[in-house]
Structure 1
Amino acid sequence: MSIEPRQLDFLSCLTSVQAAPTDAAARAKFARQQRGTRAYHSGLAAEDTVLRTYRAMGARLLKQRYRVREGEIDLIFEMDGGIVFCEVKSRRTIEEAAHSISARQWQRLEQAANRYMMEQDVGAATDLRFDAVLMDRTGAMEIVENAHLF
C-alpha cells in the first residue's frame, strides 16, 4: 500500500486529536470547543461551495471574509457589472439558516458594505445587492437574491 503525501497530512492531524477529559466541567468545555471547531469548519466548507457556485454563474470574487470594525461580509463578488455582498449561513436545516440572520446582523453587514464601498471608491450608480445563501447539513443550498434592501 502506498501513501500519498496528502494522506500523510491527514494522518498527522489524527495524532493531534485530544482525548475527552474526565471531570464534568472540563468535559462540558471540551464539548463546546469541539462544537465550535465543527461549526467553524462547516462554515468554511459552506463558503467554499458558495464561492464555486457563484464563479460558475460568472461572478468574480473581490473579497473573501472582508472584516472591518463594523462587521464581516463572507463573500463579495462583481457580477454583471454590479457588486453582490453574500452572507453564507449553514445550519441543520435551510429554515434554521434563514432564521439565524438577525436584524442587528443585517445592520452590521450594511455598515461593513458601506465601508467597503468607500474604501474601493464604488460609484453611486453601481448596482448593489445583498444575497443570503442558506445551506443545510446535507449541502443543499438556497440562494436568496436581494435578501435585504440596501
Structure 2
Amino acid sequence: MQGPDAAGAQCTDGEAPVCVERGRRGYLSGLAAEESVARHYARSGRVIVARRWRGRGGEIDLILREGRRLVFVEVKAARSFDAAIARITNSQIGRIRRSAEAFCGTVPDGQLTEMRFDLALVDGQGMVRVIEGAFDGD
C-alpha cells in the first residue's frame, strides 16, 4: 500500500503515479468549483467570510454573510448536477453542522447566529446550481 492520494483514496504501489495524478486533478477541480461558486455568490452581493475553514467537525468549503445570517456552503462537482448531489452523505452533513457550530463560537452572537446550509453543485460544463437551505431541517 502506498497511502492516500490528494483526495484521500488509497493508492496501491502499482497504481501510485496514476492515483496521485487523479487525486491532484480532483483537488484542482474542487478548487475551481469552489471559485465558481464563490463568484456566483459574490455577484449576488453576499460577502465571503471564509474559504475552506477547518473546524472540529471538518472543513466547510465557503462561509458567507447575508446581513446577520451566516451561510455555510458545501460545494460538490461532478459531470452532472444529479451526480454531484449524490456525493453528499449524512455523515458529511453532520461534520459540516459541527464545524458550523464551532465557527459560530468565534462570532459575537455565538450559537444565536442565524444560519443556513446551502449545497452548491457544479456540473461538467461549469454551471452552478445552489440549493439554499439544502439540509437546514435534517
TM range (shorter): 0.7 to 0.9
Distance 2:94 2:51 in 1: 19
| Structure whose alpha-carbon radius of gyration is higher | 1
Distance 1:45 1:63 in 2: 16
TM-score computed with the length of structure 1 as normaliser: 0.78
Q: Give the C-alpha shift of residue 69 in structure 1.
A: 2.8
Distance 2:120 2:82 in 1: 12
User: What runs of 5+ residues in structure 2 fail to find an aligned partner?
Assistant: 1-12
Moved over 6 A (4+): none
1:108 corresponding residue in structure 2: 95
Identical aligned residues as a percent: 35
Distance 1:81 1:117 in 2: 12
Is 1:97 paired with 2:84?
A: yes
Contact preservation (8 Å) 2:119, 2:130: yes
User: What runs of 5+ residues in structure 1 fail to find an aligned partner?
Assistant: 1-24
2:105 corresponding residue in structure 1: 118
1:53 corresponding residue in structure 2: 40
2:70 corresponding residue in structure 1: 83
One-letter amino acid matched to 1:66:
W
TM-score computed with the length of structure 2 as normaliser: 0.84
Q: CA RMSD in A?
A: 1.7
1:31 corresponding residue in structure 2: 18
Q: Secondary structure at the match of 1:147?
A: coil
Tell me the number of residue pairs that the alignment of Structure 1 and Structure 2 aligns. 126
Q: Secondary structure at the match of 1:37?
A: helix
Moved more, 97-106 or 61-70: 61-70
